[in-house]
């Protein structure tokens, strides 16, 4: 089972040129020309960060994430930002800087890619997540728990997260297509997660529900072509409900189509790096 651990920074702690590390002892950027590139991202004990087969678009979304499962829509990027893949190795001058991956990547984008960007509001089609039946209890797949990360910031590889038996660390969403498990997450985090991985549309939480929950959701996934570089997806359960039906029957929530202003990240400047 693969768990998705959010890389998180609070809105008040967004990486800036002043907060982010300003120098690197080593920066290596090489084009990845593998016919079947494997995406990898790891940090060594000495603070060295190795990124394999990444697009710069991926790094932009990591650098500008503001909260768990933030669905960063990037406006105005050149085509190569989402197409070309690179193998990147960085060694910050201060090894402890690798504990804050968003700030580290933000500094790298400024130093080697000359990134300048700003936030704007744009109207978008969204889903509103609401209570399916305000006069009834929540569904059996939504179980309140005292464990959780509400009001705190999880950090990649640590923070308040702790392993909870077979459910994985707190503040995470995991599972396989068709079986989604949340471990001590908020309803807002759940909505943002399914918006990213299943619906491909922003989900805005309007349930008014606070606190943390363990979530179990079984549904018929839209597998598409599967994950690039990964194994072919298993055939879906033909008797499983759609994700819309599953959310209503199993969680007691409902997705409603809506239109709303959302934050988007506009790229003002970005330069292709010189390989080294």
**Residues with Cβ < 8 Å from 13, sequence gap 6 or more?**
19, 153
CA 161 to mean position of chain CA atoms = 16
**Beta-bridge partner residues of 194:** none
- Whether 133 shows a pLDDT value over 90: the answer reads yes
pLDDT tens sequence across 165-197: 566 788 888 888 899 999 999 999 999 999 988
- Whether 26 shows a pLDDT value over 60: the answer reads yes
User: Which pLDDT score is estimated for 14?
Assistant: 37
The arrangement of strands across the sheet holding 49-55 comes to 24-31, 85-92, 49-55, 40-43
User: pTM surpassing 0.75?
Assistant: yes
**Residues with Cβ < 8 Å from 187, sequence gap 6 or more?**
129, 142, 205, 207, 209, 213, 253
User: Which pLDDT score is estimated for 154?
Assistant: 40
Q: Where are the beta strands (DSSP E) in 12-94?
A: 24-31, 40-43, 49-55, 74-75, 85-92
User: Rounded to whole angstroms, what are the CA distances from 194 to 54, 111, 184, 243?
Assistant: 23, 34, 16, 9
pLDDT, mean over the chain: 83
Element (H, E) at 194: helix 187-194
Query: Nearest to residue 52, comparing CAs of 65, 42, 60?
Result: 42
Q: What are phi and psi of 11, to 5 degrees?
A: -55, -40
pLDDT tens sequence across 76-103: 999 999 999 999 999 999 998 888 999 9
On whether the CB atoms of residues 201 and 125 are closer than 8 A, the answer is yes
Higher pLDDT, 222 or 244: 244
**What's the rounded Cα separation, in Å, for the pair 16 and 1?**
35
Pairing label, strands 116-131, 203-205: parallel
Query: Using 50, 70 and 90 to split pLDDT, how confident is the model at 151?
Result: very low
Query: Using 50, 70 and 90 to split pLDDT, how confident is the model at 9?
Result: very low
- Whether 152 shows a pLDDT value over 90: the answer reads no
């Amino acid at each position: 089972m693969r768990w998705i651990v959010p890389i998180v920074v609070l809105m008040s702690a967004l990486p800036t040129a002043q907060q982010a590390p300003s120098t690197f002892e080593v920066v290596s950027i090489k084009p990845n020309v593998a016919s079947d590139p494997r995406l990898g991202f790891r940090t060594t004990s000495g603070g060295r960060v190795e990124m394999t087969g990444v697009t710069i678009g991926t790094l932009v979304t990591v650098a500008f994430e503001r909260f768990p499962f933030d669905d960063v829509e990037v406006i105005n990027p050149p085509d190569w930002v989402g197409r070309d893949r690179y193998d990147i190795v960085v060694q910050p001058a201060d090894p402890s800087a690798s504990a804050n991956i968003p700030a580290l990547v933000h500094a790298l984008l400024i130093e080697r890619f000359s990134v300048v960007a700003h936030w704007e509001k744009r109207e978008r089609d969204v889903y509103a997540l609401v209570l399916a039946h305000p006069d009834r209890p929540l569904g059996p797949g939504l179980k309140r728990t005292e464990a959780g990360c509400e009001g705190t910031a999880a950090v990649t590889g640590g923070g308040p997260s702790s392993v909870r038996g077979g459910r994985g660390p707190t503040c995470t969403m995991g599972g396989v297509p068709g079986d989604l498990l949340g471990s001590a997450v908020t309803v807002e985090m759940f909505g943002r997660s399914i918006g990213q991985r299943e619906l491909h549309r922003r989900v805005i939480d309007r349930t008014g529900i606070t606190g943390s929950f363990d979530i179990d959701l079984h549904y018929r996934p839209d597998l598409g072509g599967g994950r690039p570089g990964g194994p072919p997806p298993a055939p879906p359960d033909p008797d499983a409900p759609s994700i819309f039906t599953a959310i209503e029957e199993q969680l007691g929530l409902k997705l409603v189509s809506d239109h709303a202003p959302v934050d988007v990240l506009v790229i003002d400047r970005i330069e292709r790096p010189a390989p080294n």
